[in-house]
Amino acid sequence: MEGPLKVTGRAEYTDDIQRPGMLVGRLLRSPWPHARLKSIDTSAARALPGVFAVLTGEKYPTPFGVLPITHDETAIAVDKARYIGDIIAAVAASDERTAEQAIALLRVEAEPLPDYSDPRTGVTPVAEPIHARGLLGSNIQKEVVQHFGNVDAAFARAAHSVRVRGNFAGVTHAFTEPLATIAEATPDGRLTVWSATQVPHYLHRALSEVLGLPMHRIRVIKPEVGGGFGGKSDPLPHEIVCAALSLETGRPVKILLDREDVFYTNHGRHPTQNDVRIAVDETGQILGYDIDALLDGGAWSSFGTVTTYYNGVLAMGPYRVPNFRYRGRRVYTTKPPSGAMRAHGGTNIRYSVEVALDMLAEKTGLDPFDLRSRNALPPNSKTVNEFRITSTSFLKCLAVAREKSGWDAKFGQLPYGHGVGLGCGFYISGSNSPIHFTPKMPQSTVHLKVDMDGGIAVHSMQADIGQGSNTLLAAIVAEVLGVDLDRVHVQRVDSDVSPIDLGSYSSRVTFMMGNAARAAAEELRGKLVAAAAALLGRNPELLEVAHERIQERGHPEVGVTFLEALHRAMETSGALTASGSYNSPSMGGSFKGARAGTAPAYSFAAYVAEVVVDDDTGEYRVPKVWAAFDCGRPLNRLAVEGQIEGSIHMGLGQVMGESMNYRGSRLFNPSLLEYKIPMPQQMPEVEILLVGDDDPEGPFGAKEAGEGPLIATLPAVGNALYDALGVRFTDLPITPDKVLKGIDQRRSEGRPWKGR
Amino acid sequence: MSSPDLLRFRLNGQPAEVACESPRVLLDLLREDLNLTGTKRGCDLGTCGCCAVLVDGRPTLSCLTLARLVEGHDVTTIEGVTPPNGLSPVQRAFVERGATQCGFCTPGFIVTATALLRDVPHPSREEIERAISGNLCRCTGSRKIVEAIEAAARGVP
């Protein structure tokens, strides 16, 4: 719907907004990975003409964080800086140059502390824990231990077992729109904040908590957002700092982050080390998983508690796993914080599991497809850790991917350096559990208003970040009411007017907002049908909605137009309103952490990737991916295709070369040139194969398609490289030097592959 | 502070005269001094292509271009490739083919693609990919962008 605005440059993003008298906010970032801040002399900065405020941490020391159970961040560092890039002071000035000069005039006295760049050193007590809440004097932020069934017994009776130790570099979202916030405190005691955010409601809460203002005095507006992928799904410190600067100065303040600062803000996928053992019986049936995961959390918690669960529990599908043991630990390090990134917690573990299954296929002599289908979770089942599986077309995904890719003629049969690989996955369609439990409220609410002009205004705090949720919201309302799409106008997200929807993360929007929208539209439809019935002198049960019309079923000539029904309905009440909301049903076990990974539905995927390797240089390309995906009923096919293609591009990036590169605690490649995102020439041809039965609870049968499509990409490529070269790659990214090393290693072990 | 010179150039087909201090960057001049916010700021380093404009018809990174250097030249922004009453064929193709998701990179791509199709009315896929290889799109993986440009070249929306 916003397409015409976007292609003409008329869509309004946060940095496009100007407010009269707006000041420029700039941040001083710590050059130390870990340091006790002894003093900050702001006098010279304050004295500089054109400087209106200088802020340090003690002014707003209340901790915050996206998860209520881990409020360990402050807007500005209070006692310590915890990574190179941590915000330690802020200024507001009349223009950018003055603000930068003021930053340069700040004098910081700090006592360097030991820095902890390797999570492995953080699992035992350390001299200077990064956070006091670290477990038993260590830097462990979260430890999860789970055991279902009896894993040791399962491995004891196994016919075959394999072990994969995976090492995954951190990757980051690299959305094109940098982080940006404008805050404006006004003399009426209100504070308005515009921000590039995926989660206006969580931002709203955090602003209130840290600034000590009641929520109703704060107004959060979400302009057009240029991509998020999880990098804008926390309330972020610069957003709160911006608001604080406005409160200090009484003037609007804008903070626009440099691209380098966006890298330092990070909240990307956790660098991960996992250790995955899988056991099967002689028929290839999975007997058990034994998983250990170590997550590099960086300086703050962010979504990390959830990530720690996900890196184990999201191995629980799409296969039946009767015995499961998991230990996950997330460790603070003095590096840019890790957080949630597309297919949060489900990507790295999936890679290792799918490589392990491929190894088991080889050991058992089963085709990789046959091994998967033998173990597929059936519909309407429960996993051993009590995930409720409803709709699944995973078997269909497998069948279609196998057929369309020509797998049987290719697997193991292509020339050396040329291979195909299978990778599978599943993902949550919205986290069943909200983040905040008080006050109790639905996970999504949609309001409709329609007045005599016949335009339907839709209000919801759902956050379109480019994935097309605005369009879907309008389409669902239009579908239920039988009206033209251009009658429906989704209003800008504004906390003064928009009823709460929790935001764009965990792939919840289509499912939850969609259901709320449907409910609201049905309520409105009821009012219109009642009015039509009164006008026609008919029983409302006999009437149905048609295109811009309400008419008698079987007698279409007996009817009224949408406007006629509307005007009749409005006679005594004026403009009509309707409300709909959604809350996911109660589910999950009653053990600690049971809710992590529960969802009202799951998406499923089976991808085949084809790779071609140049074994002189180690470079490889992925000419084609066959992507079989189950998102239930795709409501907007073009949007779903866009998500699948974009996800494959992002997943490919993580396989081929994206990597947050550190020397110790210092990030060495905070630029889009040195952070290697695939070029258009590297994008494979993608054959999208949508197979899905209607989900029983999804709106019109739909499930998510925003994150799941990424997951299967990585193991499909990794496994294809094995088919091509006979080398198992367990570490990501798989760069040309690793390819060459892998080939050399294989040859030195005297193992030819496809004759080479 | 040096007194600003008057920068004279052609902007979107019209003569323009803007006060311009020496080190001012074209992107800043466009967005801040002229309120032409259609051209986006993605990295300020020339690594993303969001700031692409046309200088004498050639795609140029405005974040790396000193404003003074366009003196006497033609500058075209996204606002200038948009017809007064609708969408250009390239713009229409992007909308119809789902080639724009978050839209932040879109003006840079539209400007680049417009110049390409003017110079090469029937580009091959390779030529298209090469022409857009300086524009980063994180949402689409650029597949639908290439298809949209191909469609616009064929005169089909």
- C-alpha to C-alpha distance for A88 and A77, rounded to whole angstroms: 5
Domains and CATH numbers, chain A: 3-113+173-265 (3.90.1170.50), 343-432+597-748 (3.30.365.10), 444-582 (3.30.365.10)
Identity of the residue in A13, A467, A645 whose CB atom sits nearest the CB atom of B141: A645
- Measured in angstroms, the CA of B104 and the nearest CA of chain A are apart by 5
Chain A interface, mutation test: which of B95, B96, B109, B143, most A Cβ atoms within 10 Å? B143
Total number of domains in chain B: 2
The answer to whether the CB atoms of A227 and B39 lie below 8 A apart is: no
Q: Which residue of B has its CA nearest to A652?
A: B141
Q: pLDDT tens digits for B27-44? A: 999 999 999 999 999 999
Tokens at B2, concatenated = 């040096």
Q: In this complex, do A680 and B146 lie within 8 Å of one another by their Cβ atoms?
A: yes
Q: DSSP letters along A591-605, please?
A: STTTTTT--S-EEEE
Q: Do A259 and B104 touch (CB under 8 A)?
A: no
The verdict on a CB contact (< 8 Å) between A646 and B50 is: no
DSSP label of B33 = I
Residues B77 and B104 both lie in one domain: no
CA distances from A476 to A452, A456, A636, A727 (A): 21, 12, 10, 48
How far apart are the CA of B130 and the nearest CA of chain A, in angstroms?
A: 8
In the numeric block, the tokens 């050193």 are attached to A121
User: Cβ A671–B47 below 8 Å, yes or no?
Assistant: yes
Distance from CA of A253 to the nearest CA of B (A): 15
- Band (pLDDT 50/70/90 cuts) for residue B5 is confident
Q: Are residues B43 and B97 in the same domain?
A: no
CA torsion, ordered A169, A175, A180, A181, to nearest 10 deg: -90
Q: What is the DSSP string of A307-332?
A: HHHHHHHTTS-SB--SSEEEEEEEEE
Residue of B nearest to A642 (CA): B140
If you count residue pairs, one on A and one on B, with CB atoms under 8 Å apart, how many are there?
Answer: 161
With a cut of 60, say whether residue B157 has pLDDT above it: no
> Do B74 and B20 sit in the same domain of this protein?
yes
Are A456 and A589 spatial neighbours (Cβ–Cβ below 8 Å)? no
> Which member of B35, B94, B126 has the closest CB to residue A7?
B94
CA-nearest residue of chain B to A706? Answer: B139
Peptide bond into A318 cis (omega under 30): yes
- Reading phi first (left if > 0) and then psi (alpha if -120 to 50, else beta), residue A742 is in alpha
Residues of A in contact with B64 (CB under 8 A): none
Asked if B138's CB is within 8 angstroms of A642's CB, the reply is no
Confidence band of B156 (pLDDT split at 50, 70, 90): low
Which residues on neighbouring strands pair with residue B97, listed in sequence order?
none
Q: Given an 8 Å threshold on Cβ–Cβ distance, is A686 in contact with B144?
A: no
What is the tens place of the pLDDT at every residue in A70-127? 999 999 999 999 999 999 999 999 999 999 999 999 999 999 999 999 999 999 999 9
Distance (Å) from the C-alpha of residue B73 to the closest C-alpha of chain A? 22
Contacts of B94 in chain A (CB under 8 A): 3, 7
Q: What is the CATH number of the domain that holds B114?
A: 1.10.150.120
Give the residue from B46, B81, B116 where a domain finishes.
B81
A642 min Cα distance to partner chain B (Å) = 6
Q: Are residues B21 and B75 in the same domain?
A: yes
Instruction: Tell me whether residues A639 and B98 touch, CB distance under 8 A.
Output: yes
Q: Which residue of B has its CA nearest to A467?
A: B101
Q: Across chain A, how many H-helices and E-strands are there? A: 19, 32
Domain limits for position B150: 89-154
Determine the distance in angstroms separating the CA of A496 from the nearest CA of chain B, rounded to an integer: 24
Alpha helices in A180-330 (DSSP H): 200-211, 237-249, 259-265, 304-313
Instruction: Tell me which chain B residues have a C-beta less than 8 angstroms from the C-beta of A650.
Output: 138, 141
Which of A5, A13, A17, A176 is the best residue to mutate to test the B interface, defined by the most B CB atoms within 10 Å of its own CB?
A176
Which of chain B's residues have a Cβ under 8 Å away from the Cβ of A224? 102-103
B97 with B122, same domain: the answer is yes
Q: Give, as one character, the DSSP assignment of residue B2.
A: P
Asked if the peptide bond before residue A736 counts as cis, ω within 30 degrees of 0, the response is: no
Domain boundary among B31, B56, B81: B81
| Among candidates A176, A256, A467 on the partner chain, residue whose Cβ is nearest the Cβ of B136 | A176
Specify whether B73 is located in the same domain as B11: yes
Does the distance separating the beta carbons of B103 and A2 come in below 8 Å? yes
Mean per-residue pLDDT pooled into runs of 10, chain A (756 residues): 96 98 98 98 98 97 96 96 98 97 98 97 97 96 98 98 98 98 98 98 98 98 98 98 98 98 98 98 97 98 97 96 98 98 98 98 98 97 96 98 98 98 97 90 97 97 95 96 97 97 94 96 98 96 97 96 97 97 93 94 98 97 98 96 98 98 98 96 97 96 96 98 98 98 97 93
Q: How many angstroms separate the CA atoms of A695 and A600, rounded?
A: 10
| Contact residues, chain B, for A342 at CB < 8 Å | none
Residue A674, min C-alpha distance to chain B (Å): 9
Rounded to whole angstroms, how far apart are CA atoms A493 and A220? 8
Q: Do A259 and B100 touch (CB under 8 A)?
A: no
Claim to verify: residue B147 and residue B95 sit in the same structural domain:
yes
pLDDT of residue A198: 97
Tell me how far apart the alpha carbons of residues A705 and A444 are, in angstroms, rounded to a whole number.
Answer: 18
Q: Are A659 and A724 in contact (CB under 8 A)?
A: no
Contact B136 A8 (CB under 8 A): no
Contact between chains at B138 and A173 (C-beta distance less than 8 A): yes
Chain A partners within 8 Å of B126 (Cβ): 681
Between the alpha carbon of residue B76 and those of residues A440, B70, B73, the distances in Å are 53, 11, 10
Are residue B20 and residue B68 in the same domain, yes or no? Answer: yes
Among the partner-chain residues B45, B103, B139, the one whose CB lies closest to the CB of A11 is B103
Residues of B in contact with A175 (CB under 8 A): 102, 104, 138
* pLDDT the model gives residue A426: 96
pLDDT level of residue B2 (50, 70, 90 thresholds): low
ipTM of the predicted assembly exceeds 0.90: yes
CB nearest B38 (choices: A3, A8, A259): A8
Instruction: Out of B82, B106, B142, name the one closest to residue A683 (CB).
Output: B142
Separation in Å, CA of A226 to nearest CA in chain B: 5
Chosen from A7, A100, A682 to mutate, greatest number of chain B CBs within 10 A: A7
Task: Report the distance separating Cα A585 and Cα A567, nearest Å.
Answer: 37
B89-96 helix and B143-154 helix, angle to the nearest 10 degrees: 130
DSSP B76: E
- SS3 at position A138: coil
- The helix/strand count (H/E) of chain B reads as 6, 5
Residues B12 and B77 in one domain: yes
Q: Does B48 contact A672 at a Cβ distance shorter than 8 Å?
A: yes
What is the per-residue pLDDT for B21?
87
- Chain-chain contact of B106 with A7 (C-beta, under 8 angstroms): yes
CATH number at residue B24: 3.10.20.30
Q: Cβ B103–A224 below 8 Å, yes or no?
A: yes
Contact state of A680 with B47 under an 8 Å Cβ cutoff: no
On whether both B75 and B16 belong to a single domain, the answer is yes
Clarify whether residues B64 and B129 are in a common domain: no
Cβ separation B145–A646 shorter than 8 A: no
Pick from A5, A8, A259 the residue to mutate for testing the B interface (most B CBs within 10 Å). Answer: A8
Tell me if A259 and B142 make a contact (CB, 8 A cut-off). no
Which residues of chain B have a CB within 8 Å of the CB of A180? none
Cβ within 8 Å, pair B103-A681: no
CB contact under 8 A, A227 and B95: no
**Calpha distance A137→A131 (Å, rounded):** 9
Considering the domain architecture, whether residues B71 and B95 belong to the same structural domain is answered as: no
Rounded to the nearest integer, the mean pLDDT of chain B is: 95
CA distance A113 to chain B (A): 32
Examine the fold and report which residue of B22, B51, B81 is the final residue of a domain before the chain moves on.
Answer: B81
